[in-house]
Amino acid sequence: MNILVLNCGSSSLKYRLISMPAETELAGGEAQRIGPPTAKPSRIVHHVCGQAPQVHIAPMANHASAFEQVVRILQQTVGRTPDAIGHRIVHDGGLFGAHSRLDDKTIAQLETINDMAPIHNPPAVNLTKACRKLYPTLPQVAVFDTVFHATIPEAARTYAIPGWMSRDLGIRKYGFHGISHQYVATEAARLLKRRMNTLNAVSCHLGSGGASLCAIVNGKSVDNTMGYSPLQGLVMSTRCGDLDPAIALRLMALSEGDYKSVEQLLNERSGVLGLSGQSADIRDALAAVSRGDAHSARPELAAQIYLWRLRKYLGAYLATVGNADAVIFTDTVGETVPAVRWAMCANMEDFGLAIDPALNDHAGRLPTDISAPGSRVRILVIATNEELSIARSAYSLLTSESKPEKKGVAV
Amino acid sequence: MNILVLKPGVRSIDWSLTGDGTRHTRAGQMDAAHIDRNLQALRGALADAPPETIAVRVNHGGTKFRGPAIADASSLAALTELVPEAPLHLPVVLSLLESGSRVFQNVPTILFFETAFFSRLPRRESAYGIDSDLAQSLGLRRQGYHGIYHEAASAHAIRQLGIPPRRARVLSICLEPHPEIAAVLGNRPVTCTSGATPLEGLPGHTSCGELDPNIVLTLARKLGWGPEQINTALTQRSGLLGLAGCPVMLDDLFAAEAADLAPARAVLENRILSACGAGMAAMGGVDTLVFSGRFHTAAKALGPWLSTRLTFRGGNERHPPRWIGFEEPLDRVIAERAQIVLLESATA
């Protein structure tokens, strides 16, 4: 079965055609600058596996027309059309609780929760509608970032607010980055030769934009640093992470009740960018510190706060998990910045965790284990592969549907 | 020596008189609205044991007060400047000090600040992930609100440990209506669960504790509420009250028979364990846990459980963290420190 995995950004569409269950990637690419015409034309950077990437220029007013172009290019270059589509959708709003087959009913349900992930969900949901219109019979599956966190126990997902607020407004911890956390945890179990349902770990998805830690017990998520929205938790590139609710209130009062401007401030102009005043990339702040720039006081503070929050959450989740088998690092920062891994894992011997400085500095080919000899907890660096994770989930759902006797996956 | 301890709140002022070698001889509460009249009545009631020193607990001292201070013209001027940072509390404190100097003439008065212990919190802990210029202009920094307890309890725990104080790693768990956990590394706090206000951190009797900041904005968007309405809901109707649906005190929560409170208890335990793990990572380990505050008896349930949960195979299993209770009430702690401050100022 060839599954086309689609991952919507606000003005981009990443795609990957993967043959399942062999997990062979056939082709992939990214449609860029989707939307109204700009000075630079919208284009698709496409590659067939084993070949150099090609650039296709085409007007793409919206994600639906980008999708049509992608299907056309796939037919031309690979000579195949997909047998199914796996959509990455960030938020299930607690409505589904499992990756789900998309039909008119489920798409309509998804549209009711657009406000819970106003940046991420609407373009993806619109795309599901377009795909269904173009290929009504093609099976489509929604793979959610929140679903891996559906197992977070009530004690960890409940905020201490009046009960009616939680019930009526759906305010609870949902957790995000689940597709990636699930993928690297599965890989870690494989590397450690353990069954997934016996794996205890802390997974650190440290992206160049968003980042979250996930506590995993018996292969299931039991906590995530992100909460009701992706704003909570770690200091991120432009997001503030944890904040005294009274500060949000104070900012709201200062802006005379204009909560949208506060939302924008906390999501887009805070985090590493707000602290350093220069760059949203933690790697720039770390580089300024190691160069000892004369004007590095603010970047240095940004780096310190970023690293300190990470270290504290690692400790919090090692305590939550109990005796973890592994700490897993993944995504851009987690895979490529040794200084971040070091700041988190050095001097953590009391947790049964010891990092090897040389292995950390030269992680090389992934996956790899950078723990010191004698460290009971393994420290693994694993390249995430969200597209493959989506293809696996979609394949598992579609094949279990066709075998009614196997009731392992909820629809 | 008779020491009068005054703890001004927003609407009322608690007082107690501590005498030589005894526990509280007398204690009571007065309305904050008529301070002058109430203090005169108090002076009359204490005519047989007139206070020789007055110790005042002040909730907020910002970054100006890094330790106790004798109430004099310069400390009052500094306190007046801090009013915008604690507009509900400090005016009561200032009126109390003004009246106190008239009613109890020539009785030395010492100020003890709940925030002083946290004035040396490292910047990486005290700063938020927001624009640093904005944070500075609004004075937004993390601090603690039970510093007097944390300082006394952690010093007590360090004495019990018998290791060099500089190396001691203490998790100080203060069980008050607004509970607070601080990691204390060699007498210095390195983490604190509370934030720029007591709203952040662990859920309290009626305060929400940590929240996704987006929730505040969602309440504004979905309910059309303004900041004051949201503030009331989060400070007065949340926490254990919000979770359990009825007023709950910390000691009841951790009592063995409280089966109906199990969900609320599980939430608080989850947050406490996380905060302890975070503090342990901040210090690179933990030697001892110390429980203080008016609900310190909950340590009987929490102490053994936390000690087990903070012991790691292949890690600190040979030296699991100990736990102890610090049972001194706040007034007693303040009175004892007042004597020390007086002694030091006399010998200086």
Reported as a pLDDT band with limits 50, 70 and 90, residue A409 is: very low
pLDDT at B24: 54
**Shortest Cα–Cα distance, B123 to chain A (Å):** 8
Q: Please indicate, yes or no, whether residues B65 and B212 belong to a single structural domain of this protein.
A: no
**Is A270 domain-assigned?**
yes
Q: Quick one: B56 and B168 in the same domain?
A: no
* Number of structural domains chain B divides into: 2
With 80 as the cut, is the pLDDT of residue B219 above it?
yes
- What's the rounded Cα separation, in Å, for the pair A43 and A31? 6
Q: Which amino acid is at A344?
A: M
Is B341 domain-assigned?
no
- Quote the domain boundaries for residue B259: 162-325
Q: What is d(CA B315, CA B312) in angstroms, rounded to the nearest whole number?
A: 5
Q: Cβ contacts (< 8 Å) between B177 and chain A: which residues?
A: none
Residue A136 lies in a domain: yes
- B248 φ, ψ (degrees, to nearest 5): -135, 140
Q: Are residues A229 and A98 in the same domain?
A: no
Least confident of A177-181, B25-29, B134-138: B25-29
Q: Which of B125, B128, B275 is nearest residue A243 as measured by Cβ atoms?
A: B128
Domain of A277, CATH number, reads: 3.30.420.40
Domain with residue B216: its CATH number is: 3.30.420.40
For residue B302, tell me if it sits in a domain: yes
Phi, psi of B106 (to 5 degrees): 65, 15
A232 vs B contacts (CB less than 8 Å):
211-214
Give the SS3 label for residue A205.
strand
Report which secondary-structure segment, H or E, holds B230.
helix B227-236
**Whole-angstrom Cα distance, residue A314 to residue B67?**
33
Better-scored residue on pLDDT, B131 or A39: B131
CB atoms under 10 Å from CB of B275, counted, come to 27
Mutate: best of B178, B208, B211, B267, partner A, most A CBs <10 A: B211
Q: How far is B283 from chain A (nearest CA, A)?
A: 9
Q: Are residues A85 and A198 in the same domain?
A: no
Residue A145 is a catalytic residue:
yes
Please tell me whether residues A110 and A234 are part of one structural domain. no
Q: Are residues A247 and A112 in the same domain?
A: no
Could you tell me if A268 lies within 8 Å of chain B, comparing CB atoms? Answer: no
Nearest CA of chain B to the CA of A263: how many Å?
7
Q: Which residue has the higher pLDDT, A115 or B328?
A: B328
Is the minimum CB–CB distance between B276 and chain A shorter than 8 Å? yes
On whether both B197 and B70 belong to a single domain, the answer is: no
Distances (CA, A) of A229 to A118, A271, A287, B220, B222: 10, 15, 30, 15, 15
Number of domains in chain A: 2
pLDDT band (50, 70, 90) for residue B164: confident
Q: Is residue A19 part of a domain?
A: yes
Find tokens 């929050």 and name the residue: A309
In the predicted structure, residue A407 carries a pLDDT above the cut 70: no
Range of the domain at A379: 194-385
What's the rounded mean pLDDT across residues A358-384? 97
- Residue in chain A closest to B271 (alpha carbons) equals A156
Residues A98 and A202 in one domain: no
Give ipTM to 2 decimals. 0.95
User: Residues near A21 by Cβ (< 8 Å), separated by ≥ 6?
Assistant: A1, A395
Mean of per-residue pLDDT scores for chain A? 93
Is residue B202 within 8 Å of B209, Cβ to Cβ? yes
Q: Could you give the strand order of the β-sheet that contains B3-8, starting from the edge strand earlier in sequence? A: B24-31, B12-18, B3-8, B53-58, B109-113, B69-70
* pLDDT for B268: 97
Residue B21 clears pLDDT 90, i.e. is over it:
no
Q: Which residues pair with A29 in a beta bridge?
A: A15, A46
Per the CB < 8 Å rule, is A228 touching B214? yes
The closest of B245, B51, B232, B116 to A167, measured between CA atoms, is B245
The one-letter code for the residue type at A400 is S
Whether pLDDT at A117 is above 70: yes
Residue A4 corresponds to which tokens in the numbers above?
């086309």
* Alpha-carbon dihedral sign for residues B151, B156, B160, B162: positive
Q: Are residues A126 and A200 in the same domain?
A: no
CA distance B152 to B150: 6
The reply to whether A134 and A247 lie within a common domain is no
